[in-house]
Structure 1
């Protein structure tokens, strides 16, 4: 009996050795390693590491696993038109009181609630941003077409609490957006399944990372957006101040320097940066994406939108890119009306 046991053990060791040699040979020849590498990358992209690491809160896996819970505070009516009523309200995001301009359509509310749009502004110096003034024409255009519109300040802007963390190297604004979505979903006048996002310039990054974090968001629209893959940031850079640290020492500046000291600037091969770029998390997105950009935009190169559109061409995500010969970074003049009409039609298709 003892002899047989020894024989079986010896055969097992011999076979294991053969398998190990074959596997090693295949791996070194490149037959196995790309497959393993691909599976490893996929797992790394989709799963949150059980061990916390510095700046983990910036990554899409972290944002996907985070719980968002908020509700609207008191609604303070400030204006009434034939089509909608405007209010100033606020909500909680990471323990901060974030203000916003809320418009609610008049007329009979649909049985399941109004479709809604969370409106995220582009870069404006936080001390100069005004809740009731900036993007007023955009909000009016959307509001009079039957959408609840919630134009949120983002933390640190106007009278909203907190430090403005910036878009590209922080998750603060994404968290503000997703808490705003949670607040609207709890409101009795909004259809919780029909909440889209609209963003301009800097908010292009915020919108796409928000969508990657909550792939069930049904529709997003981006005007003159920037920084999607982060490779594009290295390629095109920006001609505004949305990515530059303030001249004085602030929390935002210190955090950004700590980030670069820890991981270096963006590197496509770096495991951390792979988890930050929204373009690595498109496979399960269920919503649709519409892009608008003027060819003569001197602030954000239209290449950002073209490159994103090319990436989206490789997916099953419904998407469209509209280019405008005039209008500049803010899509003014005739381009504004044309872009707004296309925006309305897109949201009507995917939110109503």
Structure 2
């Protein structure tokens, strides 16, 4: 498709800014291990004693209207997701059929992969928000193949969203200014597309979100942007719910991104110079808007997204009055290997228990 120069240009800013890496160290393309199912899935250990953390920012901001580049700018938007189209069959098993799909997100076309269980339905459905993968190398449906297949085998429609500027999705030059807020818009519109489609038998009262790493942050933003969107949400190994912490970890400390740091400083201000901007870019500031139960799945040995972030997000959700559960796997790393199946069993049970009606 056209627009590759825009995509390459925006990658320099968008794919680094507020980054949520998917695998260890910096931001390499994530591995998708194929673990062997254990004979029994051990229960996760309880979270260790929680560390003290900075106070949750106040949600009240009164001196002016929010910036158009901010989480609150998403609150009053009209989400026009629809037009879900099934394309080529990617895979067919006894349990499900996998399709290439596209749908509308406002005036953009977003690509993705849709797994549809065998049978008549209607089926519960999960919209999947993948973690960081450089769009220059990203291919359709990359990043949550295991989760997509697992969910479909257990009777869930699973829609993997590629996001704008990824794979066959439309390029969006405004992402340079909107940062990653557009990803949350695409995820919200994916939910609306599933609700509106006649092509797939989806149960409108059993829709869920699931994101990993950067996708966990996308899910957080979607939940505060449109309360009541889904029945429940799960985030695995999520980035911080404070935008400044993500910036400090993946941008500011990277000597190769000094030019990017300078550009952000000039346009928006650094966290110490423009605290209001960074609060308004942080889902945590608006957790009082979350109405859905939230499950956070975290490995205690994660060296990409520090485990303390998951604990802090969980505490902040509880303080804001949200129904939050933290599933702690002390021996698991960022990508989850040996305990993947047990953690997915817990996630599916959480979705089923949270279903409306």
Fold shared, TM-score > 0.5 on shorter chain: yes
SS at match of 1:321: strand
Cα offset, 1:98, TM superposition: 1.3
Q: Which residue of 2 aligns with 1:130?
A: 139
1:245–1:82 CA distance, 2 compared to 1 (3 A): farther
For 2:255 and 2:172, the matched residues in 1 are separated by 13
Q: 2:194 aligns with which of 184, 207, 211?
A: 184
Q: Which residue of 2 aligns with 1:292?
A: 297
Q: Is it true that 1:228 corresponds to 2:241 in the alignment?
A: yes
Q: Which residue of 2 aligns with 1:60?
A: 71
Q: Which residue of 2 aligns with 1:342?
A: 346
Q: 1:174 aligns with which of 171, 184, 189?
A: 184
User: More deviation in 312-321 or 211-220?
Assistant: 312-321
1:134–1:311 CA distance, 2 compared to 1 (3 A): closer
Q: Is it true that 1:260 corresponds to 2:243 in the alignment?
A: no
Cα offset, 1:136, TM superposition: 1.6
Q: Which runs of 5+ in 1 are unaligned?
A: 1-39
Aligned residue pairs total 294
Q: 1:304 aligns with which of 295, 302, 309?
A: 309
Encode CA deviations 1:91-126: one digit per residue, 9 max, x unaligned. Answer: 12243221110112222323xxx2211101111121
Encode CA deviations 1:40-83: one digit per residue, 9 max, x unaligned. Answer: 963649xx93xxx7xx3332321011111122343123322222
Q: Is it true that 1:205 corresponds to 2:217 in the alignment?
A: yes
Matches within 5 A, 1:89-128: 89-110=101-122, 114-128=123-137
Q: Which residue of 2 aligns with 1:72?
A: 83
SS at match of 1:338: helix
Cα offset, 1:248, TM superposition: 12
* 8 Å CA contact retained: 2:242, 2:282: yes
Q: 2:279 aligns with which of 268, 274, 277?
A: 274
* 8 Å CA contact retained: 2:69, 2:177: no
* 8 Å CA contact retained: 1:119, 1:152: yes
Structure with higher helix content: 1
* 8 Å CA contact retained: 1:115, 1:148: yes
For 1:323 and 1:130, the matched residues in 2 are separated by 31
**TM-score, L = length of structure 2:** 0.73
For 1:82 and 1:193, the matched residues in 2 are separated by 26
* 8 Å CA contact retained: 2:59, 2:286: no
Give the CA RMSD over aligned residues.
Answer: 3.2
Q: Which runs of 5+ in 2 are unaligned?
A: 1-57
For 1:62 and 1:167, the matched residues in 2 are separated by 13
Cα offset, 1:305, TM superposition: 0.1
1:276–1:87 CA distance, 2 compared to 1 (3 A): same
For 1:218 and 1:328, the matched residues in 2 are separated by 28
